[in-house]
Amino acid sequence: MKKIFILILFLLLGSSGVTKSDFLNDIKDAYKKYEVTFDYETPNYTLSVVRGICNDKEVYGIYFYSSDALKYTLVINGNKEYNLDKTSRGDIYDLSIGKIKENLVLEVYLGNNKQYFGDVVLTPFVEADMKNAIEGNNKGVKTNILADISLTTYYMISCGVIILICGLTIFIFYKKRRGMFDKKIRSEGTFNFRDFLHSNIEEEAHDELDVKNIVDLDKDSFEVVNDEEENREVYKKNKDELFYSDEESGFDINKYLTDKGFITDYNSISDDEKNQIMLELIKLKNERKITNDEYLDEVYRLWKK
């Protein structure tokens, strides 16, 4: 937060930039312990490097100031640009750079000309390597993961090109109705739920029609047995063949039929109404709402004379 405040203050006051003292004060606040490994100052530029423990990590901090904004530049490992935090005028002000895994050489350039002042190398280290450590306030600060901007940019551009090509290909296929957008291709070898549902409904309707045709027989095409006792004996025989038992579902058939608008006084209704009730009974049995025994009992009541 203090770093952000300094940058905002610089913009508002038109300052020439944050100073090395600001940098070292921020380092002291953020680090648990630190030491200055390089400090070089000329009338044209200033470079200060610290290392220490921040957020329980071994990190570096870099401050680089050019008297004329962007006239002098700091590069790492030979004219490579890295994602170091910078001020609005282009000075490097990076308080915490992620743990270094390999040696990194810092160099100052004026245009394309390297400025000599000695070798500055960031090397991997551990806390025990710090012999002249200064205690800090250990408030912590965001750690910057060091990455080569040129490689990162190349990777992002490559990904962007691939995504663009894929998007254009999909758009062209869509406009020309090719590939997966071709209705004929999509319909081949795929499951069509609508056709399945339609055929299933037709089969159920056909089954119900067959049942109705079986039940709705012409009374003149068969002999009606009027002997109630003989009908009862035949019914009992059928129940025995179907493994009749005394099990009950508890389902109220009479209430169900009444709610459906049927008359349950079977002796007072027509054969057509009985056929409709028969269909309801078959439905209840198929849905296992009533047992086979209850179904047969109700059918007997329905058709007995």
Q: Which of 165, 190, 215 is the last residue of a domain?
A: 190
Specify the pLDDT at position 248: 78
* Domain region containing 107: 2-147
Confidence check: pLDDT of 46 > 90: yes
- 144 compared with 118, residue with greater pLDDT: 144
pLDDT tens across 266-291, in order? 888 888 888 999 999 999 989 988 99
Instruction: Mark whether 167 and 292 lie in a shared domain.
Output: no
Instruction: Mark whether 98 and 168 lie in a shared domain.
Output: no
Cα 269 from Cα 266, distance rounded (Å) = 6
User: For the whole model, what pTM was predicted?
Assistant: 0.46
Structurally, the chain folds into a number of domains equal to 3
Cα 139 from Cα 27, distance rounded (Å) = 10
DSSP code for 55:
T
Instruction: Mark whether 238 and 107 lie in a shared domain.
Output: no
- Mean pLDDT confidence for 37-52: 94
Coil/strand/helix, residue 61: strand
Instruction: Mark whether 139 and 7 lie in a shared domain.
Output: yes
Instruction: Mark whether 198 and 181 lie in a shared domain.
Output: no
Instruction: Mark whether 6 and 131 lie in a shared domain.
Output: yes
- Is residue 53 very low, low, confident or very high in pLDDT (cuts 50, 70, 90)? very high
Confidence check: pLDDT of 39 > 90: yes
Specify the pLDDT at position 191: 52
Instruction: Mark whether 246 and 265 lie in a shared domain.
Output: yes
> What is the residue whose two structure tokens read 């038109």?
14
Contacts of 198 (CB under 8 A, 6+ apart): none
Specify the pLDDT at position 164: 83
Specify the pLDDT at position 9: 45
Instruction: Mark whether 123 and 44 lie in a shared domain.
Output: yes
- Mean pLDDT confidence for 218-229: 52
Cα 114 from Cα 112, distance rounded (Å) = 7
pLDDT tens across 69-109, in order? 889 988 888 766 677 899 988 899 999 998 788 888 898 99
Instruction: Mark whether 67 and 202 lie in a shared domain.
Output: no
Specify the pLDDT at position 12: 44
pLDDT tens across 117-141, in order? 667 899 999 999 999 899 999 999 9
E-strand ranges in 12-148 read: 33-41, 45-54, 57-66, 72-76, 92-97, 104-110, 113-122, 134-135
Mean pLDDT over all residues of the chain? 77
Cross-strand partners of 74: 108
